[in-house]
Amino acid sequence: MPPFPAKEVVALVAAVYWRFCCACVALALRGVRSEIMATMLSEVYVHGYHPRENERLHDQASTLVDLLHFDTAYPAGSKVLEVGCGVGAQTVTLARQSPGARFTAVDVSAESIAEAKRRIDHADLTNVEFRQADIFALPWGPDSFDHAFVCFVLEHLSRPVEALALLNALLKPSGTITVVEGDHGSTYFHPESRAARAAIQCQVTLQEQAGGNSSIGRQLYPLMTAAGFDEVRVSPRMVYVDSSRPDLVDGFTRKTFTAMIEGIREAALSAGLIDPAGFDAGVRDLHRTTEADGVFCYTFFKGVAAKARHA
Ligand SMILES: C[S@@+](CC[C@H](N)C(=O)[O-])C[C@H]1O[C@@H](n2cnc3c(N)ncnc32)[C@H](O)[C@@H]1O
């Protein structure tokens, strides 16, 4: 067994995990037109899934956007930097919730920025400008922004504290940062299953080998503190799913989380992390949690902090 997965495996895991993040965000969008929602959800590879069936995801979307964003609003006139905006899923929500703020959304991927711009235009939002840049080489100096926002990005970075410290330096003295991350270790479900846990662990291990950390949510407090921020406050945001919430059973448990695990099957097998029967049993047991007596929980973490006084 190779001690470290081949380049292709690393790329595959990164792609699958990114799609998971995008799907989470897609589920969190509120008030977007159904075709946008469908397009985003279709980024998750799911057998038999038909994007046009998803009118009902609007209710669920509302639930998740409230969960992640109910307390994010920026004053009119403030300058907000979103780093790692991806295809703009969060950007749409942020810009809509704070119409008077001016957003600069940055990503290292030109392709993602093009898609994000398309979505912002489609949503008739005019308070966002885009720029392609690396979080480790941002083209601004100190005191450039009132607020920074980062969602589902630190988990992909091997130097998250350094990235946060760089953002700290760009903020004005009264500036704040908001960070949202997931944590696969927060996953629990009924019926319990060792096989399901083993399959999830494959994702955690592969992500780690790719230089990321899929359980970074729980570390937000120490990471933000180590980066020099003051008044760090982290709040867990748990998604709880049972069969009284068929929208979340379908959209989150089945088509987001379980689909993500299904998507790393080849990578996990190639890396020798598990055998095919073990992996397939794990996926089966994850699907089992979507039945009438099943329960599934996942927790996101949101950290908010003030610029360090001495940064
Ligand atoms: C999982 S996506 C999250 C996108 C968006 N924040 C969201 O919540 O939908 C991670 C994003 O971070 C971007 N990214 C990764 N490393 C980066 C870096 N060093 N600098 C800027 N962006 C980066 C990726 O291109 C990708 O768009």
DSSP, collapsed to helix, strand or coil, labels residue 218 as helix
Q: pLDDT exceeding 70 applies to what percent of the chain?
A: 79
In sequence order, what E strands does 31-186 have?
A: 79-83, 102-107, 128-132, 145-151, 171-181
Which atom of ligand 1 lies closest to the CA of 150?
6
* pLDDT (average), residues 132-142: 98
156, 178, 207: which to mutate for ligand 1, most atoms within 8 A of CB? 156
Q: Are 160 and 188 in contact (CB under 8 A)?
A: no
CA 261 – CA 12 distance, rounded (Å): 12
Rg, C-alpha atoms of the chain: 19
Which atom of ligand 1 lies closest to the CA of 17?
1
Which atom of ligand 1 lies closest to the CA of 109?
25
Pocket of ligand 1 contains residue 163 by CB under 6 Å: no
Pocket of ligand 1 contains residue 151 by CB under 6 Å: yes
The pLDDT tens digits for 17-56 are: 555 665 555 554 433 333 333 333 333 322 223 333 333 3
CA 170 – CA 14 distance, rounded (Å): 28
* Mean predicted lDDT score pLDDT of the chain: 85
220 CA from centroid of ligand 1 (Å): 17
The pLDDT tens digits for 146-179 are: 999 999 999 999 999 999 999 999 999 999 999 9
Strands 102-107 and 128-132 come out as parallel
CA 131 – CA 108 distance, rounded (Å): 9
> Which residues lie closer than 8 Å to 144 by C-beta, 6 or more apart?
79, 81, 170, 171, 172
Closest C-alpha to ligand 1, atom 17: 108
Pocket of ligand 1 contains residue 18 by CB under 6 Å: yes
CA 182 – CA 17 distance, rounded (Å): 11
Residue 128 confidence class, pLDDT cut points 50, 70, 90 = very high
> Which residues lie closer than 8 Å to 241 by C-beta, 6 or more apart?
248, 249, 252, 253, 295, 296, 297
Q: Which two tokens stand for residue 305?
A: 């902090």
H-run or E-run covering 261: helix 259-263
Residue 308 confidence class, pLDDT cut points 50, 70, 90 = confident
> Which residues lie closer than 8 Å to 167 by C-beta, 6 or more apart?
81, 83, 135, 138, 148, 150, 177, 227
Q: Does residue 265 have a pLDDT over 50? A: yes
H-run or E-run covering 188: strand 188-190
Q: Does residue 233 have a pLDDT over 80? A: yes
Residue 256 confidence class, pLDDT cut points 50, 70, 90 = confident
**pLDDT at residue 247, rounded to an integer:** 87
Q: Which domains does the chain have, with CATH numbers?
A: 7-306 (3.40.50.150)
The reported pTM is 0.84
What are the residues facing 148 on neighbouring strands? Answer: 81, 177
> Which residues lie closer than 8 Å to 197 by C-beta, 6 or more apart?
282
107 CA from centroid of ligand 1 (Å): 6
H-run or E-run covering 174: strand 171-181
**pLDDT at residue 146, rounded to an integer:** 98
